Amino acid sequence: MNIALVGYGTMGKIVEEVVSEENKCFVVGKDFSSLFDIKEHIDCVIDFSSPSLLDMIVSYASLHKTPCVIGTTGHSFNQEKKIEELSKKVPLIKSANFCLGITLVNKLLKDIVPYLSNCFDIEIKEIHHNKKLDAPSGTACMFLDTINKNLNYKVNYGRKGEVKRDKKEIGIHSLRGGSVVGEHEIYFLGEDEVISIKHQALSKKIFALGAYKASLFIVNKKNGLYSMEDVLFKEKNSD
């Protein structure tokens, strides 16, 4: 299987290392100006780049019907719509985080939020290295969307002033510093008790392994927008 890497920064290079360990997969494109410059056939595009490169990915994938794995975060509303439209033409996985633990946490949130939302205040905290550009992180936003899907609570991005906390409110807080790979914690704060779910990423390899696994899953799938839950749990159920 031939893989093209859009984005050859830290994540792209780690994905290349993971792919190079597999005899059946090869990186045929990296550190290029355009996917259209690659002469070899591309079986899957893995994107860890910048939202500014989305149009190029959409153009190439639409023309060649190439499956895509998109790990870039920070897309605008209109760009998210373009990704949805692309998924009607090609099989596509988009995730803010490709590691197993985060996927499990997100699934757990779907299960517990209906039981906790009425009597617990909800807060999200995320910490990342000092070079990260977007805040809140894409993973924190994913958790927020999962929690707030049926609640439609007000979202408070940090707090300032003397405004009392609204019961129907979710707080989200971003910390930046040092070389922290990624840490996310969701708090459910009730009367005399606190429940928290925490995930720490100790290296970026876990994201690369997940993206590689996603690429194996998405090739030869029907057109559509898939998630890491599809990759992990459907695969598990078929074992």
Active site residue 132: yes
- Which DSSP string corresponds to 3-17? EEEE--SHHHHHHHH
Q: Which helix (H) or strand (E) holds 183?
A: strand 182-190
- Contact between 183 and 203 under an 8 Å Cβ cutoff? The reply is no
- Out of 82, 107, 132, 173, which one is annotated catalytic? 132
Can you state the angle between helices 205-218 and 10-20, rounded to 10 degrees? 60
Cα–Cα distance, 186 to 194 (Å, whole number) = 10
> Strand, coil or helix: what is 92?
strand
Core vs surface per residue 154-193: b (16+ CB within 10 A) or e: eebeeeeeeeeeeeebbbbbbeeeeebebbbbbbbeeeee
Q: What is the DSSP letter of 23?
A: T
Active site residue 39: no
Q: Which of 128, 184, 199, 213 is catalytic?
A: 128
Distance CA 143, CA 91 (A): 24
Q: In this structure, which amino acid lies at residue 147?
A: I
Question: Cα-flanking dihedrals φ and ψ of residue 90, to 5°?
Answer: -140, 155
Which of the residues are catalytic?
Answer: 128, 132
